[in-house]
Amino acid sequence: MGSTASAPGLPIVMSATTPAAEVAAIRAALGDACRDATAADAREALFIGGFESLPADAWQVIDDVRRSRVSESV
C-alpha cells in the first residue's frame, strides 16, 4: 500500500470582504477549540490536529498528486 505527500485539509473559506476583526475572532475560536480538553476525542476522531492560516499555494501539493495519478493511469 502506498501513501501520498502530506497535504493540508479542506480550507475554511470566508468572503474576501469579511472584516479583519471577524476573521481574528474565528481564528481565535478555532484555536480555543483545539486546546479544549473536552473536545480531544472529537478532534482525534476527525483527525484534526490544528488550524493554520496558509497561503493559497499550500494546496498545490493536492493538484500535484492528482496530476501524477492521472499521468500514471494513461
Count H helices, E strands: the chain?
3, 0
61 and 6 Cβ atoms separated by less than 8 Å: yes
**pTM score > 0.95 for this model?**
no
7 and 65 Cβ atoms separated by less than 8 Å: yes
Average pLDDT across the chain, whole number: 87
**Average confidence (pLDDT) over 7-30:** 92
pLDDT digits (tens, 9 = 90+) for 34-54: 999 999 999 999 989 899 888
Nearest to 59 by CA among 17, 18, 12: 12
